């Protein structure tokens, strides 16, 4: 359902949602079937916040959720954390360690 909706907003080639978080937790190999390109993510955010696709309450919820994200602050956002006036709103994927000890699906 989510996959079909997003396909109406951004190019199908830029993302795929095949499995839920629960399904991926049960079978880590399924995590590789869900993906989004950086451009696809940017296009989706742009459409959500500039074209009135969702109401102000839902926009605020999404923005606040992204601002409150505490995972991944040591990654791409790290150089910006101490900059005055910069607000970081992001969502990272923290992945898992596979049976070979390799950190997978980490972004």
- pTM for the structure as a whole: 0.75
Q: Phi and psi at residue 96, in whole multiples of 5°?
A: -160, 165
Is the per-residue pLDDT at 92 higher than 90?
no
pLDDT of residue 15: 96
Averaged pLDDT for residues 82-96 = 84
Is the per-residue pLDDT at 96 higher than 80?
no
Instruction: Choose between 107 and 18: higher pLDDT.
Output: 18
Instruction: Match 């309450």 to its residue by tokens.
Output: 57
Measure Cα distances from 104 to 24, 42, 93, 95 in Å.
Answer: 12, 23, 10, 6
Is the per-residue pLDDT at 64 higher than 90?
yes
């Amino acid at each position: 359902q989510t996959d079909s909706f997003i396909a109406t907003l951004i190019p199908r080639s830029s993302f795929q949602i095949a499995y839920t978080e629960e399904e991926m937790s049960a079978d880590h190999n399924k995590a590789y079937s869900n993906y989004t390109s950086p451009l696809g993510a940017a296009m989706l955010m742009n459409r959500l916040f500039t074209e009135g696709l969702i109401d102000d309450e839902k926009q605020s919820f999404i923005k606040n959720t992204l601002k409150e994200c505490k995972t991944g602050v040591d990654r791409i956002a790290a150089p910006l954390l101490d900059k005055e006036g910069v607000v970081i709103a992001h969502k990272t994927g923290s992945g898992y360690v596979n049976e070979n000890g390799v950190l997978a699906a980490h972004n």
